[in-house]
Amino acid sequence: MGARAGAGAGCRTVAGMRDPVADLRRIAFLLERANEGTFRVRAFRSAAAALAGVPVAEMAARASAGTLTDLAGVGDVTARCVAESLAGEQPVYLRRLESTAGVDLDGATAAVRATLRGDCHTHSDWSDGGSPIEEMAVAAVELGHEYLALTDHSPRLTVARGLTAARLRQQLDRVAAINRALPPGFRILTGIEVDILSDGSLDQEPELLAELDVVVASVHSGLNDDAGRMTRRMLKAIGNPLVDILGHCTGRRVPARRTGPDGSGDRGHRAGRTRPPSDFDAAAVFAACAAHGKAVEINSRPDRLDPPKRLLRQAVEAGCWFAIDSDAHAPGQLDWLRYGCERAARCGVDPARVVNTWPADHLVGWAAAHRG
């Protein structure tokens, strides 16, 4: 598991030719995985979408006539990639990305990664993600996932276009429809990343939360609360039977590594994106998670990597369950699970304590048991 998208997604051939749409999608995936901004990736996703319904013969005719760019969503760079693909060559843009993308996992990390069956924390363009639910799901299937919990934001996180109860209900219908069209053996789980409000209550209607497969609860506001107040907020949320997973517990933001398509890695602060961990009584919080059977999230985002290793080891000692989550906001970011797995391996997390090593039904049953 985990190798399929890496090995084959961009190389499918149609009648002996490369598949230009698959190549464009593969480029987008690799850019997202390299932590490129969504805007930079959009050209490739838009072009792939624009060309998905165009017969190969028409693409070839347009490529030789130089009229690919007449199609809405296809620009000069993407048209060049398509022409190279149609000529049977790996597009130069893709070749450069693939040559810098080969980040082999060390044995211990790969062993943890191999145990994961899905992802419990992801976003779509319904909130602040960059891609439609369908694209997230297809990428998850290609990564070998058995499930993907869709956990868009809750209403009061307006900067992230949090979903009102009405929109979340619409999303549930949409997910049901998409699930009917997905291959057997894979499903989207319904969910939410619900804000833990200043008094520790949750930012969504309880009846609606109770309907969801997975509820991740996270602090996004008042991160500077003093330790006493923050601890009370978190303990109240953890004790809420509607919560299954405590998301990115410290809320810290760290400088994210970024590897550009030219292979140059940089590790710099991006203005305004770093934040120190919030202050709380970790012993009390982890003890509560263990007592209530709730999972502590190992957030894999390169700009979060939360909890820090010292706290992660403390959570292991406390006997917590864990969820290794991507918190992906774009399809390629689903592959960030590797970073969480690396930290889990370093900090002695037993995969038997990781809830997304379970099959979907087991995971959903575990969550349902919290609701009593």
Chain contacts with Zn ion (rule: CB under 5 A)? 193, 218, 327
Tokens matching residue 78: 């993407």
Comparison of 44 and 147: residue with beta carbon closer to Zn ion: 147
Q: How far apart are CA 1 and CA 294, in angstroms?
A: 26
Closest approach of Cβ 14 to Zn ion, in Å?
37
Comparison of 81 and 330: residue with beta carbon closer to Zn ion: 330
Q: How far apart are CA 279 and CA 288, in angstroms?
A: 17
Comparison of 23 and 303: residue with beta carbon closer to Zn ion: 303
**Following DSSP, what letter does each residue of 257-325 receive, concatenated?**
PEE-TTS-EE--PPTT--BPPPP--HHHHHHHHHHHTPEEEEE--TTT-BS-HHHHHHHHHTT-EEEEE
Closest approach of Cβ 248 to Zn ion, in Å?
6
Comparison of 193 and 335: residue with beta carbon closer to Zn ion: 193
Closest approach of Cβ 184 to Zn ion, in Å?
28
Q: How far apart are CA 338 and CA 50, in angstroms?
A: 31
- 310: Cβ contacts below 8 Å, ≥ 6 apart: none
Closest approach of Cβ 318 to Zn ion, in Å?
22
- 233: Cβ contacts below 8 Å, ≥ 6 apart: 196, 197, 198, 199, 200, 219, 222, 225
Phi first, then psi, for residue 320 (nearest 5°) are: -75, 160
Closest approach of Cβ 160 to Zn ion, in Å?
8
Comparison of 51 and 192: residue with beta carbon closer to Zn ion: 192
Comparison of 218 and 231: residue with beta carbon closer to Zn ion: 218
- Spatial contact of 303 and 277, defined as CB atoms under 8 Å apart: no
Closest approach of Cβ 320 to Zn ion, in Å?
19
Comparison of 47 and 148: residue with beta carbon closer to Zn ion: 148
CA 280 to each of CA 7, 35, 59, 142, 316: distance values in angstroms, whole numbers, following the listed order: 43, 30, 58, 39, 17
Closest approach of Cβ 358 to Zn ion, in Å?
21
